[in-house]
Amino acid sequence: MFKALFDNITLGIKNGDKVLFMEESGRVYMMKASMDAFRDAQRAFVGEAERVSLEDNDDVMAMLKELREVQIM
């Protein structure tokens, strides 16, 4: 029965991976633990690009170049 339910689902997990079960609004979700950490990081960065006036990839590259120059000195 479970095999039929999960035939079309690809979780990308392999032997030894940590799996996390989460409940939200009465639904249970299963995901790799590393994906949950990634989601937390994404939430932490919400609004930061606007805060530091990053509008496109060129702005990001300019910021990275500036940061690298500061670290070298």
Q: pLDDT tens digits for 45-73? A: 999 999 999 999 999 999 999 999 987 75
pTM score over 0.75 = no
CA atoms within 13 A on the CB side of 9: 10
Residue 52 structural domain: 1-71
Instruction: Please tell me the total count of domains within the chain.
Output: 1
Buried/exposed 30-43: b ≥16 CB within 10 Å, e otherwise: ebbeeeeeeeeeee
Q: What does the pLDDT read at residue 5?
A: 54
Torsion-angle region of residue 61: left (phi > 0), alpha (psi -120 to 50) or beta?
alpha
Share of the chain above pLDDT 70, in %: 84
| Measured distance CA(55)–CA(4) in Å, rounded | 46
